[in-house]
Structure 1
């Protein structure tokens, strides 16, 4: 048994099998699909509903959801490192922090550290994998927490999407701009800034050019690509994601991990969304 548990949310884009192999504890993200509430919906079910144009809304896990996941580790004598979704993307981290403070009161003999990763999706996955590796290498809870704090603002995230209507649905883009952008085949390149906010980095014409721009960002900003694991997440467009991954591998990346975007991001991006995350000097 590890001396400490690592806790994160399902917004971290790793598969259930990968979470299990890393021995990372996962808090499910509640979903509403056409008004019906769910927890722990499979990605296959989610994307079937997304393609069917279902009305999908994500919700914030409750503090009790976090307590339910973390408490058994504390009961077994483990400490806890909670690496949460950026506060600027969701209220999830606030809920998780409330839970961790409650658990500190219940288990004062245990050490519990909460980190706002300022990341999401594949960027959050990068940091969680980093934490799991540090733990496997024998680093203490505090050493691992310090490592994540030191690297979280070095994680660059870039995204593009194929259908602007989803940004309009979520209130992130006026509907007339979304319609015009789709007519003109304009694809935004979005990034997360140093505080974890979405920003438009640039805009290009056509989806293929947008994906190529993601590749260019990796080449331009990644530090020592040959030593890096680059993370790609996609919204049910595996062929496009694998094509991007192949180019990054040919450019010399040590490893490229391809996963599917979870509901927390994909419900706002729609089918065709793709994101890439990697370590850079600054975002």
Structure 2
């Protein structure tokens, strides 16, 4: 069966995914310092980070419209899947579901399913790869959905950032009581909750100790790593991502490893120097 996988632009596509012909991106948009940026192949990370540094206002993002998703669903593929960043953090999931409803009102029923990643960035990447793996195995539409939903249940997301300012100012840290003392160089290790919210896992002083603590937490949570892909995204800090990869490889073996640069939305929230790990 022919299939199409739409991933909102908080999820990064690898070069292989871009070349496959099965993946499309639904772009979010960003406003910063009077500039309007579409998070697509034209995104310039270095220029974007410069605009953030120069702006006194916090950058804001907006999700793809239901009509945008509807357009992506209108294609010849028999099975269509959308993967969005966590519904607890963005309206992208609801927009994708509304787009499905609009499509079916206009054109009739079709095999379309929207996955709430309960994650972001490379978490969405891994879900897209899992869908493709299931399709290549010849699973039915329902079997793909059931298999991938089970995969999402087992997925863990971790991140360590130089600053949580943008997450905090945009209301993405609701419910977290801890106050980050930037002056003391406190770097909290963060992670996702089962429902796709953000939780604080540990406090460390300095990025170096933070990376060690994050790796310790990842290893503590790992089950059957040899069956899993380790995915790391970074915002302008490839060396830091490689350090995390090497520390994890000292503790466990993985089926594969992916390292990517953060796209626009992930760069906005990760900020310069941020690292995200999903396994």
State the TM-score, normalizing by the size of structure 1: 0.87
Give structure 1 regions of 4+ aligned residues with deviation exceeding 3 angstroms.
40-44, 164-174
The 1:135/1:235 distance shift into structure 2, 3 A limit, reads: same
**Residue 62 in 1 paired to residue 65 in 2?**
yes
Count of residue pairs brought into register by the alignment: 271
Query: Map of 1:75-224 to 2, 5 A cutoff?
Result: 76=76, 78-171=78-171, 181-224=181-224
Secondary structure in 2 matching 1:244: helix
Specify whether residues 82 and 149 from structure 1 end up closer, same or farther in structure 2 by C-alpha distance, changes over 3 A only.
Answer: same
Provide closer, same or farther for how the CA distance between residues 170 and 47 of structure 1 changes in structure 2, counting only shifts above 3 A.
Answer: farther
RMSD of equivalent CA atoms: 2.3
Q: Displacement of 1:54 after TM fit? A: 4.5
C-alpha contact (below 8 Å) 1:157/1:192 kept by paired residues? yes
SS in 2 for 1:65: helix
Report the more deviating stretch, 59-68 or 109-118: 109-118
How far residue 108 of structure 1 moved from its aligned partner, in angstroms, is: 2.1
* Cα pair distance change 1:22/1:132, threshold 3 Å: farther
**Aligned pairs for 1:30-49 within 5 A:** 30-42=29-41, 45-49=44-48
Query: 1:29 maps to what in 2?
Result: 28
> Any idea what SS the aligned residue of 1:236 has?
coil
Name which of structure 1's ranges 15-24 and 80-89 shifts more when overlaid on structure 2: 15-24
1:167-217 per-position Cα deviation (integer Å, ceiling 9, x unaligned): 44435579xx87x72211100111110110011111111101111122212
- TM-score of the superposition, structure 2-length normalised? 0.88
Structure 1 residue runs of 5 or longer lacking an equivalent are: 279-283
* Cα distance, 1:240 vs structure 2: 0.5
8 Å Cα contact 2:70/2:103 also seen in 1: yes
> For the Cα contact (< 8 Å) 1:187–1:206, is it kept in 2?
yes
- Cα 1:39/1:146, change in 2 over 3 Å: same
- Cα deviation code 1:134-180 (max 9, x no counterpart): 11121122111111111212111111111344444435579xx87x7
Q: Is the 8 A contact 1:249 1:256 kept in 2?
A: no
For residues 52-98 of structure 1, what are the alpha-carbon distances to aligned partners after superposition, in whole Å with 9 as ceiling and x for unaligned? 41443211111121122221x2xx25231222221101011111110
SS in 2 for 1:13: coil
Contact 2:173 2:198 in 1 (8 A): no
Pairwise CA distance, 1:25: 1.9
What SS class does the counterpart of residue 134 from structure 2 fall into?
helix
Q: Is the partner of 1:142 in helix, strand or coil?
A: helix
SS in structure 2 opposite 1:14?
Answer: coil
Corresponding residue for 1:281?
A: none
